[in-house]
């Protein structure tokens, strides 16, 4: 009887051991790794939900190791994209570890309703080659601080700043049409003319800007720190050129 009982027990142990191993195989770990990479893709492009679908696909394509196979618009902005990523897992006995690499596809949704930590669903990979994207639009360039400083008038102490002369100096810089130009004064500061040269980068919500302050006794040109250029902080406004904000803490 003992022998008869032993056989089913050993069979049960073998089945249990085998089942545990197949549930945690190298391929299983590789698939899990691919899923984590797809989730990281979702996190990296999470903030792009207000952009056109093609831009979202392009942003995903810029991430190393990511292939974009399909892009579908999700309204005026936002997208659902299918990406292909690879994952690697290890398996086998401790002294015979072997790696397995798999390629898996996932559907990544980027809309205003998408949560940051959403786990993309695995899907069948669409047939065909990965998508290709045209180069990003080139942002206009603002001349260097040195070039702007050389072009602007230098007014001696006790002199008078001419707004017309400042405008002519700015025009001589031959600026890209994509650069927004503001030249003027503010009522609270007499005798000072400010200059703002501003560009809205295609892929950044924070504008680039260079400011100049032309006053009797000195002309100053500078680039405000990024925190002041953030929308709502007035760092790229004419008032900051004429009457500069204090440095950020």
Q: Please tell me whether residues 7 and 71 are part of one structural domain.
A: yes
- Of 93, 123, 153, which residue constitutes the final position of a domain? 123
Query: How many domains, the chain?
Result: 2
Q: Please tell me whether residues 8 and 113 are part of one structural domain.
A: yes
Quick one: DSSP state of residue 172? T
Which of the residue ranges 73-82, 83-92, 154-163, 223-232 would you say has the lowest mean pLDDT? Answer: 83-92
Task: Examine residue 131 and state whether it is found in any structural domain, yes or no.
Answer: no
pTM of model > 0.95:
no
Residue range(s) defining the domain that contains residue 8: 2-123
Given this model, what pLDDT does residue 98 score? 79
Task: Examine residue 248 and state whether it is found in any structural domain, yes or no.
Answer: no
Summarize pLDDT for 131-157 with one digit per residue, the tens: 999 999 999 999 999 999 999 999 999
Given this model, what pLDDT does residue 94 score? 53
Task: Examine residue 88 and state whether it is found in any structural domain, yes or no.
Answer: yes
Q: By C-alpha distance, which of 194, 199, 195 is closest to 179?
A: 199
Task: Examine residue 15 and state whether it is found in any structural domain, yes or no.
Answer: yes
Task: Examine residue 171 and state whether it is found in any structural domain, yes or no.
Answer: yes
Q: By C-alpha distance, which of 231, 227, 212 is closest to 143?
A: 212
**Averaged pLDDT, 44-71:** 96
Task: Examine residue 27 and state whether it is found in any structural domain, yes or no.
Answer: yes
**Averaged pLDDT, 41-67:** 96
Q: By C-alpha distance, which of 14, 73, 51, 24 is closest to 201?
A: 51
Summarize pLDDT for 207-238 with one digit per residue, the tens: 999 999 999 999 999 999 999 999 999 999 99
- Give the count of beta carbons closer than 10 Å to the beta carbon of residue 47: 12
Task: Examine residue 211 and state whether it is found in any structural domain, yes or no.
Answer: yes
Q: Please tell me whether residues 110 and 151 are part of one structural domain.
A: no
Q: Please tell me whether residues 183 and 72 are part of one structural domain.
A: no
Summarize pLDDT for 19-30 with one digit per residue, the tens: 323 347 888 888
Confidence of residue 96 (pLDDT cuts 50, 70, 90): low
């Amino acid at each position: 009887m003992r022998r008869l009982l032993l056989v089913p027990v050993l069979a049960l142990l073998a089945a249990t051991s085998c089942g545990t191993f197949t549930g945690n195989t190298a391929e299983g770990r590789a698939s899990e790794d691919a899923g984590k990479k797809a989730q990281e893709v979702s996190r990296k492009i999470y903030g792009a939900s207000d952009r056109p679908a093609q831009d979202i696909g392009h942003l995903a394509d810029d991430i190393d190791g990511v292939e974009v196979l399909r892009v579908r618009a999700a309204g005026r902005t936002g997208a659902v994209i299918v990406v292909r990523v690879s994952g690697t897992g290890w398996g086998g006995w401790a002294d015979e570890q072997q790696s397995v690499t798999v390629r898996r596809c996932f559907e990544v949704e980027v809309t205003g309703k998408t949560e940051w930590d959403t786990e993309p669903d695995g899907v069948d990979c669409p047939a065909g080659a990965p998508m290709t994207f045209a180069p990003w639009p080139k942002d206009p360039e603002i001349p260097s601080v040195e070039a702007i400083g050389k072009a602007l008038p230098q007014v001696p102490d006790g002199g008078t700043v001419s707004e017309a002369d400042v405008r002519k100096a700015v025009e001589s810089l031959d600026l890209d049409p994509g650069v927004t130009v503001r030249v003027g004064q503010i009522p609270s500061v007499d005798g000072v003319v400010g200059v703002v040269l501003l560009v809205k980068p295609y892929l950044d919500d924070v504008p680039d800007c260079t400011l100049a302050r032309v006053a009797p006794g000195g002309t100053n040109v500078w680039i405000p720190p990024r925190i002041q250029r953030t929308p709502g902080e007035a760092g790229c406004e004419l008032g900051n050129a004429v009457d500069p904000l204090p440095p950020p803490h």
